[in-house]
Structure 1
Amino acid sequence: MTKGRWVVGRGLLVAVCLAGVMAQTAFGSGNSGWAAAPRAPRNLAEFDALFQQVKNWGRWGANDQLGSANLLTDAKRKQAVALVKLGQSVSLSHDLMTDKADDNASPFGHTMLGGNSMDNYRVSYHGYAHSHIDGLCHILYKDQTYNGYPRAEVNTEKGCVKLGIDNLKQGVITRGILVDIPRLRGLPYLEPGTPIYVEDLEAWEKKAGIKIGTGDALLLRTGRWARREKVGPWAVGRNGAGFHASVAPWIKARGVAFVGSDAAQDVVPSMVEGIGLPVHTLLLTGLGINLLDNQDLESVAATAAKLNRWEFLLTIAPLAVTGGTGSPANILATF
C-alpha cells in the first residue's frame, strides 16, 4: 500500500508517492520535516460520530460508577501481582513543582507551621504540571458525563454526586505497560505536536514483545520531562506530543482500563477542528477510562530498559475525596 502527498513548488503541483513503510516512519515522527495527510476525526462532525461509535454508556448498567475499571477482575489483579520478580518499585510521580512556569500555572504551595514541625499543603492539581488521576466526572461532552448522566445530576458546588474519585478509594492493582515511543524511534524525546497513531502502538508491541490487553493500564512516554530538562519548560497545554484521537477504537477493542502519559494524553494542537482535547473526551467521557496525567515516566523507562521488561505491577491509590474530580497520586510500578 502506498501513501500520496501533494507538494507545491515553483507553482507546480506534484504528486509524490511514498512507500507505505516510509509513510509509517514519517507519520508524526516530529523530525521528518513534513506531515502526513490529516486523519479522521478531522472536525466536530467526524468526532461526534467517533464518540458515538466508541462510547461505553450503559455497558455496565444504567447506574455504573466505575467505567472501564470494571475490567479489573480478581484474575487480572493476580496476574499483575505475579509480575513482581525483584520487589523493586519505581514512582511515576514527578516532584510537586513550587515555581510558576509555562507548564505550571498553579504551583504547589508548601508552608511550614508550628515552629517548623508542621506544614500546610495547597495544590490545584488539574493542568499540566502535577501528577494526578482524573475522575470520571472531570470532563463532559454535550453537557453529559460518562454513562450519559446530565451535568445537573453529577456536577454540583459540593462535588460530584456521581463518578467521583472516591469510587476508586479501594485502590487499583493491575498490569501496567509502558509504551516508549521515543525509544521506538531512537530519540531522547518527541518534539511538541507529534501525533501518535495505532501503528506506533503496534510497532512498540512488536519491538517490546508484549500485547496490550483487557484490564491493562497503558502508559505513554513521549519524553516530555526529558525535553523539559534539556530545553526548559514550555506551554505543554498548547503544544505537546500525544495520542491522535483515531486511537480510541483501538484502545476500546483492546479493553484498556486506564491510560496515562507524561503529559495529558492528547496531541496538542489536537488536529480535530472544534475539539481541544478529543482524546480526553473520548476516553474519560466516552469510554469511562480514568486518565493518569503528567506522570514522570523517565525512571520507569530506564528501569524497564535495563531489565528489558515493559510490563509491571501498577498500583494507584487516590485520596479519598468524596465527590472529587480527581486526585494527586504517587503511582507505583513494581518489577
Structure 2
Amino acid sequence: MRLVNNCFIGLAAGIILVGLPACEPATDSAAARETVTNDTVEQWMTDLSNWGRWGENDELGAVNLITPEKRMQAASLVKKGISVSLAHNAVKEKAVDNPSPFEHEMTATGVGSTPDFPFCVDRFSVLYHGFAHTHLDAICHMFHKGKMFNGHSQDEVTEEGASKYSIHHMKDGIFTRGILMDIPRLKGVPYLEPGTPIYPEDLDAWEKKAGLKVSSGDVVFIYTGRWKLRAEKGPWMISEKSAGLHASCAPWLKQRDVAILGSDAASDVAPSGVEGAAQPIHQLVLIAMGMPIFDNCDLEAVSEEAARQNRWEFLLTAAPIRVVGGTGSPLNPIATF
C-alpha cells in the first residue's frame, strides 16, 4: 500500500477531532503466469477498465454495483443472527510491519476526576494507509501515469484532500453479500507462507468447494492467515513478502463484477512476480476498475465461524468515516450470518 500525502485522521471518543483474454478468468494458470508482464498489466488497464461505465459525474466506482436488489438479497442471508468483526484491534505497538502505530492519548481520566467534570476523554490518531491497520482504500488512493479512476488527474488530490472520489461519498455505508475465500483451508495448511501467490484457479476451486459463485456487487475477502502467522512467528516485513493475489486474478475479478476486494493483508502477492509493477492488483482494481479495497482485515474469527456453519457467504456491513476529501478510512466491517 502506498501512503498518499501522508493521510492522517484524528478521532476522539464519539467525535472527530484532530496475455489473457480481457475479461475471462484464466484456466491454464501456468501459461497465464508466464504471460503476465508489465505490458500485460498495461493492456489490462484498458481491457478491464470501468472508465465511463457510471458516467462522468460518478463518485462511487464499482460500489454502484451494490444495488437495492443486491442489498435485499444480502439481507436474506441472515439466518442465525451471529455477527463477527472483520477488523483487527488497533495496533498500538511499533513493529517492522507497523512503522506508524495507532496513537491513543488519554486527555482526561478517572484518576482525580471531580463532580464538576465526571468524564474521561481520549484522542485517537492514526496514519492508517499501510500494512497494519484495518481500513478501506477509496478509489482516489492510487495513481497511474498521473491518473486515477475515470481518467481524473492526480492533481485533484491536494493538501486539502481529494476533490474526486473522496471516501465521504460512501456515507450511506456498504451493505451487500460478503464472501470469504479461505485459501489455506483449500490447500490444507494453517496459513499461506509469505510470498505465496494465489491464482485464478484457486478462486475457481474455492467456489466449487464452498458451493457458491461470486456475482455482481459482492465483496470478496481473501483469507491468507496473515494474523495467525504473525501471532505465531512475530511481525515481518510484509510489504516485501506477503501472500496474496497474483496479477492474473484481475480478469477474474472483472468478470465476476466484484464491488470491493478485501484481504487480511494488502491483496497483492509480494513480490508481485511482474517486473515493473509492484502492486498490479491494487493498480488494476483501484484505477482501472474503480473498486475500493479493504486492507489488513482480521479474518480469523470469521473463518472459524464460517467453518462451523459451513457457510462462506454472509451479510457484509461497513461504514467509512465521513471525511470530506479522505482517501480512505479506518473502519470495522461486520459479517452477519
What does residue 167 of structure 1 align with? 169
- For the 8 Å contact 2:33–2:248, the answer to whether it is kept is no
Range 308-317 or range 60-69, more displaced: 60-69
Which amino acid is 2:63 matched to? A
| 2:99 counterpart residue number | 105
In the TM superposition, residue 71 of structure 1 has moved relative to its aligned partner by 0.6
- The separation in 1 between residues aligned to 2:307 and 2:33, in whole angstroms, is 33
Tell me which residue corresponds to 2:233: 231
* Contact kept in structure 2, 1:67 and 1:287, CA below 8 Å: yes
Q: Does 1:79 align with 2:82?
A: no
Alpha carbons 1:66, 1:163 under 8 Å: kept: yes
The answer for unaligned runs of 5 or more in structure 2 is: 1-27, 111-119
CA distance in 2, matches of 1:134, 1:164: 10
The equivalent residue for 1:276 is 278
- Answer whether contact 1:40 1:246 (CA < 8 A) is retained: no
The correspondence of residues 310-329 of structure 1 with structure 2, limited to 5 A, is 310-329=312-331
Q: Structure 1 residue 39: deviation in Å?
A: 2.9
Matched residue, 1:215:
217
Aligned ranges 1:180-199 → 2 under 5 Å: 180-199=182-201
Residues 37 and 89 of structure 1: is their aligned pair in 2 closer, same or farther, counting only changes over 3 Å?
Answer: closer
**For the residues of structure 1 that align with 2:32 and 2:318, how far apart are their CA atoms?**
38
User: C-alpha distance in 2, partners of 1:47/1:217?
Assistant: 23
1:158 corresponds to? 160
Per-residue CA deviation, residues 278-300 of structure 1 (Å, 9 max, x unaligned), is 10010011100010000000000
Report deviation, 1:111: 1.1
Number of residue pairs matched by the alignment: 301
Provide TM-score, normalisation by structure 2. 0.87
Please give the per-residue CA displacement for 1:216-247, whole angstroms capped at 9, x wherever unaligned.
Answer: 00000011011111111111111000001111
| Alignment deviations for residues 132-153 of structure 1 (CA, whole Å, 9 cap, x no partner) | 000111001111010101122x
Give distance in 1, aligned partners of 2:32 and 2:298.
31
1:262 is matched with 264
Of residues 115, 135, 149 in structure 2, which corresponds to 1:132?
135
**Separation (CA, whole Å) in 2 of partners of 1:128 and 1:55:** 27
Per-residue CA deviations over 1:156-213 (Å, capped at 9, x if unaligned) read: 1100001000010110100000000000011000011111111000000000101000
| Map of 1:247 onto structure 2 | 249
Distance 1:79 1:39 in 2: 39
- What is the alpha-carbon root mean square deviation over aligned residues? 1.3
User: Is contact 1:41-1:50 (8 Å) kept?
Assistant: no
Show structure 1 runs of 5+ residues with no match: 1-22, 28-35
Please, which of 36, 41, 49 is the counterpart of residue 36 of structure 2? 41
Residue of 150, 153, 161 corresponding to 1:147:
150
2:57 is equivalent to residue 55 of structure 1: no
- SS of alignment partner, residue 39 of structure 1: helix
Q: Which letter does structure 1 place at the counterpart of 2:252?
A: W
Give the stretch that moved more between structures: 169-178 or 56-65: 56-65
